[in-house]
Amino acid sequence: MAHSSRRLSLCTVMQSIVHDGPISRARIARETGLSKQTVGEIVSGLEIGGWVREKGRTRGHVGRTATTYETVGTAAGVVVVDLGGTKLRAAVADLAGNILDDVVEPTDPAGGAAVARQTARLCRVATERNAIGWDRIKLAIVGVAGVPDASTGAVRLSPNIRGLDRINLRSSLEDALGVDVYVENDVNLAIIGEQWIGSGAGEKDLVFIAVGTGIGAGIMIGGTLVRGAAQSAGELGYLPVGADPFEAESLRTGALERVVGTIGIIRRYRDRTGEEADVPAIFDAATRGNLAASAVVDETASHLACAITAVCATVNPAKVILGGSIGSRPDLARRIRTILPQCAPIPVEVETSLLGSYAALAGGAAVGFEKIHAMLFSDGHPGALVSLPRQDANRFRLTGQ
Amino acid sequence: MAHSSRRLSLCTVMQSIVHDGPISRARIARETGLSKQTVGEIVSGLEIGGWVREKGRTRGHVGRTATTYETVGTAAGVVVVDLGGTKLRAAVADLAGNILDDVVEPTDPAGGAAVARQTARLCRVATERNAIGWDRIKLAIVGVAGVPDASTGAVRLSPNIRGLDRINLRSSLEDALGVDVYVENDVNLAIIGEQWIGSGAGEKDLVFIAVGTGIGAGIMIGGTLVRGAAQSAGELGYLPVGADPFEAESLRTGALERVVGTIGIIRRYRDRTGEEADVPAIFDAATRGNLAASAVVDETASHLACAITAVCATVNPAKVILGGSIGSRPDLARRIRTILPQCAPIPVEVETSLLGSYAALAGGAAVGFEKIHAMLFSDGHPGALVSLPRQDANRFRLTGQ
DNA sequence: ATTTAATTCGTTAAGTGAACGAACTAATAA
DNA sequence: TTATTAGTTCGTTCACTTAACGAATTAAAT
């Protein structure tokens, strides 16, 4: 409780350098409202601590030139993991909010403890690939399909990775890595990533709908994630849309998921044509003008439009971002945009994910950035926080998906 | 920016007195972690300002007795208004969080400016009824059916009160009353009231569904209200449930509202029986065992169960509170609780409103309490706030509905 | 019944951390 | 040279803390 004012000033100054750096001490003072010598003291403290360094000097204006300061990105970092059913991806994010090169491997099909070991190893590999030593890594953020249980550390309802609900993923990673580990739902990280540097940049009310094998959503309201009383917010597969919600199968699989999930799409195509085809093939056929495939895709778009209508009637986001193997197809989004005004009275933008399969990784970096700054500078003091710097998503679009 | 720490300490002490008062200075020091003389200074400042006063002394324990302090409720207050289509209700809430006696009048059917004048007059009457002078009133909170537009001060989509979208309700009340006026949607206030002292006490993830002429919801996530990007969150009438959402009429009135609103219920009863009856008559007939009426009510419950399923799949609240002239009928809630497990895989509690027609008034008092303390003590400093004290809802259940 | 001990309240005094204004030096464009 | 901006040093103020102490009260011992 005592003397928390310095912490607050420290955060204010750090925020200024992270966002507007390289920046001079005089400008920090003007922009934060702190006095010149308070800023001077704090900056020299940060410099001694190794968090910031001199970058250069200002030029070309009246008056004395000023030394400018920037954050030392490599001073600390977090390791970010996207643990998917087929791919395991890890990257390092530094103190300045940069996401460094990522490494990918196929996920170990053995599941459970084997995947935990693989994850820990790949975290080390990711740091070795970049100029940030393991001793500088302060924590790890892991995105995973399923519902992480905060008390047990297990991951419930994780369909794509076997045995993840039987081990304590968090504590086994913490033991292997020696740093705090935060396990979060991958769709929740995806919406955070999209809001930071993706399709939802700048918006505060967003929904990210991942359509793939199943269907799930990450919901952000007023800039904060909606988790729900039982961590079940965004389980859109259970929306009473598509199939009859009172059938036993709907109660188990989910009325919407039955019709727009991978299995549902394949079944509907088979029902129409008698032929067996996988989802990409059906979508490609629809694009080529195949009538049956086109009807199946339109049906899917129509159900998704109803789902979006339901979500908008409830939380009224400014934008809905579509992702996942099925959801990120631009042709599907186009069809949904056509159908939506016929059933949704409240207007909403519908876009495909800009970050693609990197959305969760970016979101993890965002969460890690906020946690590491809170840890190092604000120390949990309310009102003192370093917010995310502007970045661009180019690095992701250049790398292969 | 400078010297904000005193504000924070001031709020901490005030919070302690409001919540745990009457309380001694020594206990404040123990509980807040502040030192005894800091607390002493702040309390004597508050006493000089007239915000707190000596209440008595502690007795019966070892050691010196202590003087205890309590908030001076009458030092400041807010006036709270529930502006409904048929009834206009006003009350005063004091600095300690007590809601004083309320006054009611039928709403002036002339609407528009006449209702604004009537509201301003009733605010004065409410203060005269209580021991709190008008000069102590710092602001007014007005709950109204419809969507208040923050920039223009008008109220859009207000079906029950004519011409409210043509006047600037906020500024005309501010002119008439001479204090800041906040106009808020009545269902939003209702959920805040229910969370404070009603059916949702203690819960952080709640949905209040008002079923009456139309259907609308107030949504609270993590303790904060969800408004939506276009202030349209909770417009559950537009859920794609009940009627076909692609019909033109559904797009206009709302697919769900068409079937579970007053008009929809009356129509469905007429379709089955050929008879004309109003909603209370249909519900009473269902209770007496009339088969057609019972079927209509079950149908209504079934549609509402689907709506609740949709809302739960999206935001996963711990509890759904039913209110409004139709929604607050306990027999409807009972039928919904029976049907819900057949279509909703995620469990949720369903209850009727405890505060009834006083929910919005209580919510207005809660909002007013927070605003007035922020205004007087925290002055907008982040992290510094006086939270709502525990109260009970007895006063409301004693008064007639 | 009286005295002594233990405990608690609240005040005074001394000291520290943090921020500020003012005065000053330093460097640069015009 | 002059005006302007950058950055430092000094002394002051504010807010809070710890420590010490007097005052008031209950509990226990004589």
DSSP-assigned letters across all residues of B91-141: EEEETTS-B---EEEEPPTT-HHHHHHHHHHHHHHHHHHTT--GGGEEEEE
A155 shares its domain with A265: no
Question: Which nt is closest to the CA of B32, judged by C1'?
Answer: D16
Can you tell me the mean pLDDT for A348-359? 95
Can you tell me the mean pLDDT for A211-229? 95
Rounded CA separation B3/B15 (Å):
20
Contacts of A333 (CB under 8 A, 6+ apart): A322, A327, A350, A351, A352
- Element containing residue B319 per DSSP (H, E): strand B319-323
- Contact across the interface for A239 and B310, Cβ inside 8 Å: yes
Question: Which nt is closest to the CA of A6, judged by C1'?
Answer: C18
Give me the torsion for CA of A125, A129, A131, A136, rounded to 10°.
-10
User: In the structure encoding, which two tokens stand for residue B290, read together?
Assistant: 């009339």
> In this structure, are strands A206-211 and B180-185 parallel, antiparallel, or unpaired?
unpaired
- Single out the residue in A71, A90, A121 at which a domain terminates: A71
Q: Tens of pLDDT along B180-210?
A: 999 999 999 999 999 999 999 989 999 999 9
| Strand C contacted by B5 CB (< 7 A) | no
**What confidence tier does B401 reach under pLDDT thresholds 50, 70, 90?**
very low
Check: CB of residue B198 under 8 Å from CB of residue B189: no
Highest mean pLDDT among A125-129, A305-309, B157-161 belongs to: A305-309
Residue A62 — left, alpha, or beta (φ > 0 → left; ψ -120 to 50 → alpha)? beta
Q: What are phi and psi of B108, to 5 degrees?
A: -60, 120
Q: What is the pLDDT of residue A132?
A: 87
- Contact across the interface for A239 and B313, Cβ inside 8 Å: yes
- Single out the residue in B50, B71, B92 at which a domain terminates: B71
Which region among A8-17, B171-180, B297-306 has the lowest average model confidence (pLDDT)? A8-17
Q: Identify the residue whose tokens are 């000097």.
A: A57
Computed over its alpha carbons, how large is the radius of gyration of chain B?
Answer: 23
- CA B369 → C1' D23, Å? 39
Q: Is the pLDDT score of B394 beyond 80?
A: no
- Contact across the interface for A314 and B318, Cβ inside 8 Å: no
Look at residue A332 and tell me if it is in a domain: yes
Q: Is the pLDDT score of A282 beyond 90?
A: yes
Can you tell me the mean pLDDT for A11-22? 89
Q: Other C-beta atoms within 10 Å of A275: how many?
A: 12
Check: CB of residue A179 under 8 Å from CB of residue A138: yes
Q: Is the pLDDT score of A1 beyond 70?
A: no
Rounded CA separation A300/A326 (Å):
10
- Contact across the interface for A205 and B315, Cβ inside 8 Å: no
**What confidence tier does A394 reach under pLDDT thresholds 50, 70, 90?**
low
A323 shares its domain with A263: yes
Highest mean pLDDT among A156-165, A248-257, B158-167 belongs to: A248-257
Rounded CA separation A297/A335 (Å):
8
Rounded CA separation B226/A316 (Å):
9
Look at residue A151 and tell me if it is in a domain: yes
- Element containing residue B82 per DSSP (H, E): strand B77-83
- CA B374 → C1' D22, Å? 39
| Residues of chain B found within 8 Å of residue A343, distances taken between Cβ atoms | 240, 245-246, 250-251, 255
Nearest to B352 by CA among B394, B307, B322: B322
What single-letter DSSP state applies at residue B357?
Answer: G
| B382 closest CB neighbour out of A251, A347, A383 | A383
What are the CA-CA distances from residue B105 to residues B82, B83, B87 (Å)? 11, 10, 6
Angle at A285 between CA A282 and CA A286, to 5 degrees: 85
B304 shares its domain with B362: no
Looking at every residue in chain B, the average pLDDT score rounds to 91
- CA B381 → C1' D12, Å? 26
| Strand D contacted by A302 CB (< 7 A) | no
Chain C positions under 7 Å from a protein CB? 6-13, 17-23, 26-30
Chain D positions under 7 Å from a protein CB? 3-10, 14-20, 22-27
What single-letter DSSP state applies at residue A379?
Answer: T
Computed over its alpha carbons, how large is the radius of gyration of chain A?
Answer: 23
The DSSP result for B159-187, as a single string, is: SSSTTTTTS-HHHHHHHHHSSEEEEEEHH
Q: What is the pLDDT of residue A400?
A: 44
Rounded CA separation A128/A90 (Å):
12
Rounded CA separation A325/A215 (Å):
11
Look at residue A323 and tell me if it is in a domain: yes
- Contact across the interface for A314 and B316, Cβ inside 8 Å: no
| Strand D contacted by A58 CB (< 7 A) | yes
The alpha helices in A316-376, defined as continuous H runs, are 324-327, 330-339, 359-373
Rounded CA separation B53/B55 (Å):
6
The alpha helices in A261-320, defined as continuous H runs, are 262-273, 279-288, 291-315
Q: Tens of pLDDT along A123-144?
A: 999 999 887 889 999 999 999 9
B112 shares its domain with B153: yes
CATH label of the domain that carries residue A276? 3.30.420.40
Q: What is the pLDDT of residue B331?
A: 92
Q: Other C-beta atoms within 10 Å of A358: how many?
A: 26
Q: Other C-beta atoms within 10 Å of A40: how many?
A: 15
Question: Which nt is closest to the CA of B5, judged by C1'?
Answer: D15
B51 shares its domain with B78: no
B129 shares its domain with B223: no
Give the residue from chain B lying closest to A218, CA to CA.
B314
Q: Where are the beta strands (DSSP E) in A43-134?
A: 52-57, 67-71, 77-83, 87-94, 99-106
- Contact across the interface for A239 and B315, Cβ inside 8 Å: no
**What confidence tier does B309 reach under pLDDT thresholds 50, 70, 90?**
very high
CB pairs under 8 A between A and B: 163
Q: Is the pLDDT score of B61 beyond 70?
A: yes
B231 shares its domain with B340: yes
**What confidence tier does B398 reach under pLDDT thresholds 50, 70, 90?**
very low
User: In the structure encoding, which two tokens stand for residue A91, read together?
Assistant: 């990257």
Nearest to A145 by CA among A114, A89, A188: A188
Q: Other C-beta atoms within 10 Å of B267: how many?
A: 14
**What confidence tier does B150 reach under pLDDT thresholds 50, 70, 90?**
confident
| Residues of chain A found within 8 Å of residue B241, distances taken between Cβ atoms | 240, 310
Q: Tens of pLDDT along A226-240?
A: 999 999 999 999 999
Can you tell me the mean pLDDT for A233-252? 93
Q: What are phi and psi of B79, to 5 degrees?
A: -105, 135
Looking at residue A119, its amino acid is T
Highest mean pLDDT among A27-41, A370-384, B173-187 belongs to: B173-187
Check: CB of residue B363 under 8 Å from CB of residue B97: no
Higher pLDDT, B59 or A311: A311
Q: Other C-beta atoms within 10 Å of B201: how many?
A: 15
3-state secondary structure of B76: coil
Nearest to A224 by CA among A25, A11, A394, A385: A385
| Total count of domains within chain B | 3
| Residues of chain B found within 8 Å of residue A239, distances taken between Cβ atoms | 309-310, 313-314
Can you tell me the mean pLDDT for A365-394? 84
Rounded CA separation B43/A226 (Å):
39
Q: Tens of pLDDT along B329-385?
A: 999 999 999 999 999 999 999 999 999 999 999 999 999 999 999 998 887 677 778
Rounded CA separation A194/A360 (Å):
9
Q: Tens of pLDDT along A70-100?
A: 999 999 999 999 999 889 999 999 999 999 9
Rounded CA separation A62/B94 (Å):
57
Looking at residue B201, its amino acid is A
Check: CB of residue A72 under 8 Å from CB of residue A95: yes
- CA B180 → C1' D15, Å? 33
Angle at A95 between CA A93 and CA A99, to 5 degrees: 25
Rounded CA separation A250/B261 (Å):
27
B247 shares its domain with B180: no
Looking at residue A66, its amino acid is A
B362 shares its domain with B348: no
- Domain region containing B39: 5-71
B205 shares its domain with B308: yes
Rounded CA separation A130/B222 (Å):
38
- Contact across the interface for A251 and B345, Cβ inside 8 Å: yes
Rounded CA separation A213/A159 (Å):
9
B222 shares its domain with B285: yes
Q: Identify the residue whose tokens are 């006026």.
A: B181
Contacts of B142 (CB under 8 A, 6+ apart): B80, B81, B83, B119, B169, B173, B181, B182, B183, B184, B364
B185 shares its domain with B211: no
- Contact across the interface for A219 and B315, Cβ inside 8 Å: yes
Can you tell me the mean pLDDT for B98-123? 93
Rounded CA separation A164/A156 (Å):
7
Look at residue A196 and tell me if it is in a domain: no
Higher pLDDT, B269 or A392: B269
User: In the structure encoding, which two tokens stand for residue B22, read together?
Assistant: 């009457």
Give the residue from chain A lying closest to B2, CA to CA.
A34
| Strand D contacted by A67 CB (< 7 A) | yes
| Strand C contacted by B199 CB (< 7 A) | no
Check: CB of residue A88 under 8 Å from CB of residue A79: no
Q: Which residue is nearest to nucleotide D10 (CA to C1')?
A: A37
Nearest to A312 by CA among B320, B219, B263, B187: B219
- Contact across the interface for B313 and A219, Cβ inside 8 Å: no
Q: Other C-beta atoms within 10 Å of B5: how many?
A: 16
Q: In what order do the strands lie in the sheet with B349-352?
A: B224-226, B215-221, B206-211, B319-323, B349-352
CATH label of the domain that carries residue B19? 1.10.10.10
3-state secondary structure of A140: strand
